[in-house]
Amino acid sequence: MIGPHRGRAAVVAAVILMAAIATACAPAKADEAGHDAAAEALFGQSVVPRLQIRLSEKAAESLRSEPSTWTTCTLVENGDVVHERVAIKIKGGYGSMRDLDDRPALTLNMDKHAPGRRFHGLDKFHLNNSVQDESLLRELLGSELFRKAGVAAPRVTHARVWIADRDVGLYVLKESFDEDFLRRSFRRADGNLYDGQPNQEIDEGLKRDEGHRGDAGDDLAALADACRTVDDADRAAQIDERLDIEWFITFAAVEALLNHWDGYCSAQNNYRVYVDPGAGDRVRFLPHGMDQIFADAGSGIFEPPPALVAMAVLDRVEWRRRYRERVEELLPIVAADRLVPRIDQTAERLCPILTEMGPDSLERFTKAVDTLRTIVVERAASLKEQVDAAEPPIWPTRLQAAVRAFNAADDETEDLPIPNSQAANFLRHHVPWFECPDAEMERGYYRRWWTLRKHVHHTDEGPFVRELPPGFGDLLTEARWLHDLPLCGLASAQRAAPAGDATGSCDRIITSIIGLKVHPDTTVEVEPALPRDWRWFGIDRITYQGRRMTILWDETGDRYGLGPGLRVIVDGAEIGHSDTISRIVTRLP
């Protein structure tokens, strides 16, 4: 037993230790606050800093021969503030990479050789050459808009840059994804931060830049496995455990609103992933590389995304509804009457620098800003129009998931006219989209179209099908449901393939189970013969008499949000409805 005096001594010792720890932490906290204030001042100031980068001959040769390897430079700010031995390397991906003697994008690390040193509170920062955005404004706008939506994004400003005595022009200065960024953006900064590689999914070897929690990549692989889980309820539960759903929905919505076509959801490119211990080790996506946003004023915000996580999230009805709600909630941040003044304000700040650089630089900048301003106005109108339009009843996310699984299990050794990498896109454009509670039937439906795609050859006369696998069946009955793909050579393909058992064919699913009866005139007849446990199904993009048809069964009205019953929709307009599974006969409008 510990005596009373020893107990009091232990308490006193503990208090002294805690006070010592607090005293030691106080300077660190003060330093962090000072760094944050200095960085905030940098990104908020109206004066554009002038930066000169001086390189020794050895350092210059290093950047020429090994541009991605760190070397050292002297950084001079505004002609009088000198930072010696600053780490530097050339950065850039496809489209923006330039060598040292051109106009390179650069990364500078202030404390690599001088621990604790900062540039206006920044440990590491980037100087982007913005060769794909002559307005120099898109990265700044994207960063600000993501942050307004509640998604962490690096801050952005501008700098005039010289390499030695060579004027390389106006650059976009951007803070780095590093420990300082994580500390400022999240409750905890000790999570794993991954660098999304070009056109790679989250489980395809992303580099871990920060954090040491577990084996690198295991957390992302777990999320990827969750997204590929077959059972709907199981998949949703696993995703919810590993992904910050609300954060991701907001992230995806802003990517779509800004037409970030080169981001994660559209291209599996230009993104970072933070596994946040402050959010139960859930994954949070971060935006990157936004110099090509607002490229297409009319791009769709409700187009099914090809990225694995986006596809899995938006496949779930309630999450897709929340995505649509979030898009509508965020419309004000991309309103033209808000963005155009911000564009004009920043352009006014930069014009004196561009005037110094010469009339050609100013003219290119002015034209690029005019173009951006026009796109922003047109984009706002397009977004309003898209939000006001009825949502498509189903998205082909399940199609994409099925094709991804087929591709992963297929040893693609032959040189196919339409390779596996293009299979999902082919099916999205040319076959009816189908979903039902029977996962095996749904996969079998898509596997059949996926297999047919392997035998489509493009000729001068048009697409041609030949050499179908034995037992494929009657291609003529299958091909009539293809959308916008008139195949030639069908008769020879039909003769070359045995009739086979058509019970698993796509045609049988459409004509017998869903019950669409084919008529030579404008009659539309639907009489489903469903398994008893089917409470819903949907099929879209059926080509019937040259029209686009959708057939939906929703027992409760919760699946598609159109109310309960069986519905026949042609070109977006409902032409037939029954409260129960029963025969509907009507005519094309």
Tokens matching residue 151:
């998604």
Residue 393's SS3 state is coil
Domain layout of the chain by residue ranges: 32-175, 188-334, 337-388, 397-587
Residue 74's SS3 state is strand
* Cβ atoms within 10 Å of 573's Cβ, excluding its own: 8
pLDDT at 199: 85
Cα–Cα distances (Å) from 124 to 88, 96, 179, 181, in that order, read 10, 20, 10, 10
The answer to whether the CB of 551 falls within 8 A of the CB of 539 is yes
pLDDT at 498: 47
pLDDT at 9: 56
Q: Report the alpha-carbon distance of residue 13 to residue 7 in Å, rounded.
A: 10
* Cβ atoms within 10 Å of 108's Cβ, excluding its own: 24
pLDDT at 168: 96
In angstroms, how far is CA 10 from the centroid of its own chain? 55
The answer to whether the CB of 121 falls within 8 A of the CB of 36 is yes
Residue 551's SS3 state is strand
Q: Report the alpha-carbon distance of residue 425 to residue 345 in Å, rounded.
A: 41
Contacting residues for 185 by C-beta, under 8 A, at least 6 apart: 152
pLDDT at 102: 94
Dihedrals phi, psi of 77, to nearest 5 degrees: -110, 125
Residue with tokens 């905890």: 188
Q: Report the alpha-carbon distance of residue 174 to residue 157 in Å, rounded.
A: 6
Q: Report the alpha-carbon distance of residue 261 to residue 251 in Å, rounded.
A: 13
Q: Considering just the CA atoms, what is the radius of gyration of the chain in Å?
A: 29
Which of 398, 421, 397 lies closest to 410, judged by CA?
421
Which of 491, 532, 521, 508 lies closest to 586, judged by CA?
521
pLDDT at 501: 45
pLDDT at 457: 77
Average pLDDT per block of 10 residues along the chain, 589 residues long: 50 50 53 88 94 97 96 96 96 85 96 94 96 96 98 98 96 96 96 91 94 96 92 92 98 98 94 97 97 94 89 90 95 97 97 95 96 97 91 81 87 82 87 93 92 80 68 70 69 48 73 94 96 94 90 93 94 94 95
Secondary structure letter of residue 119 according to DSSP: B
pLDDT at 234: 92
pLDDT at 1: 41
Cα–Cα distances (Å) from 265 to 176, 252, 536, in that order, read 22, 7, 28
In degrees, to the nearest 5, what angle opens at C-alpha 471 toward C-alphas 469 and 472?
Answer: 65
Q: Report the alpha-carbon distance of residue 346 to residue 350 in Å, rounded.
A: 6
In degrees, to the nearest 5, what angle opens at C-alpha 266 toward C-alphas 262 and 272?
Answer: 65
The answer to whether the CB of 380 falls within 8 A of the CB of 338 is no
Q: Report the alpha-carbon distance of residue 530 to residue 507 in Å, rounded.
A: 15
